[in-house]
Structure 1
């Protein structure tokens, strides 16, 4: 779910930067990793920034996959937080469908929004309690660091 949201955001971002959507969603990891000759230190800050932008444009699917791997590895030894995260999506969906089924959304639209907000707060508190949010942010930080390092050191054109 998270990778779908991030993937959609990065895809829209890449379209706004390049003007057209990426035809190749995800490159194979052999291309993503590349040969050792494809890596060097940039000569200036502007060259590093250009490398990062181009590499993010080309390898956004790979970077999302790296984030998902970091996130799953951070929850590997903690099955309860992972199951809590997985259970939170159907619970929220069920509550929303229950509100629609009972007709509260038509009679009292504010009540629907209030109940939905309360359920989101409860799920957020539960996820904070089970440390899913902490694992998410550490995984995001690690993936961002890996993206910046890979993007800055990898030469633009093969």
Structure 2
């Protein structure tokens, strides 16, 4: 029996439907669709393969995972980040940021990983900034000489500001600029001597790695819409 098409039915191409999901902010639906489509393609491919080709299928899947994982470190996580993302509320650390074990999955493709990284970095910008400060504090705790150098540099600039206001250096702009450049050179020498750059690079490396991995593996969740006041 052949059924005739219903003229009242609405057929929307997948590309237009995905564009509508992006524009309307329902990225969690798009994330689930991408994962489901990848799982369906893998299942269909496994069913059609014969037993001798199972090894080739495993190698192909492993290679695909490696390519997706390596692509994480080619993504610019700050591409869509704006200053307004730091002015909002900090997401809850339990359900919002960490979530449960079901809140994580390996990205099915490089495009899905890119989408997750961009959106999660915008959503958890304040959480990542807090973790960076925590990592920085832990690094300085392990490197007390760098901590002493940082405190000494802050004290130096605080004294310079105090003396500048006391002696009225604003009336002598040339002398003030000379003293500022001298203080900058002294600060740089102090920080280099105490290996402060190592603490800074270690913090940036750990923070960047944790941010990219968490943002890529963290599933997208519905955005919290602000409640309207009546």
TM bracket, shorter-chain basis? 0.7 to 0.9
**Distance apart, 1:55 and its partner CA:** 0.9
Residue number among 123, 140, 143 corresponding to 2:204 in the alignment: 140
Task: Answer whether contact 1:127 1:133 (CA < 8 A) is retained.
Answer: yes
Q: In the alignment, what sits opposite 1:45?
A: 110
Gaps of 5+ in 1: 1-11
The structure showing larger relative contact order (alpha-carbon pairs under 8 Å, at least 6 residues apart) is 1
- The TM-score normalised by the length of structure 2 is 0.56
Which structure is higher in helix share?
Answer: 1
Bigger-Rg structure (1/2): 2
In structure 1, distance between residues paired with 2:105 and 2:151:
41
Shift of 1:104: 2.6
* TM-score relative to the length of structure 1: 0.79
For 1:22-61, what aligned pairs fall within 5 Å after superposition?
Answer: 22-24=87-89, 26-30=90-94, 31-61=96-126
**Which residue of structure 2 aligns with residue 110 of structure 1?**
174
2:186 is the alignment partner of 1:122 = yes
2:154 pairs with one of 73, 89, 105: 89
- Offset of 1:22 from its aligned partner? 4.6
- The 2-side partners of 1:44 and 1:13 are apart by 26
| Deviations 1:74-94, CA, capped at 9 Å, x for gaps | 222332321221232232022
| Cα separation, 1, equivalents of 2:221 and 2:83 | 18
Q: Which runs of 5 or more residues in structure 2 are unaligned?
A: 1-80, 223-230
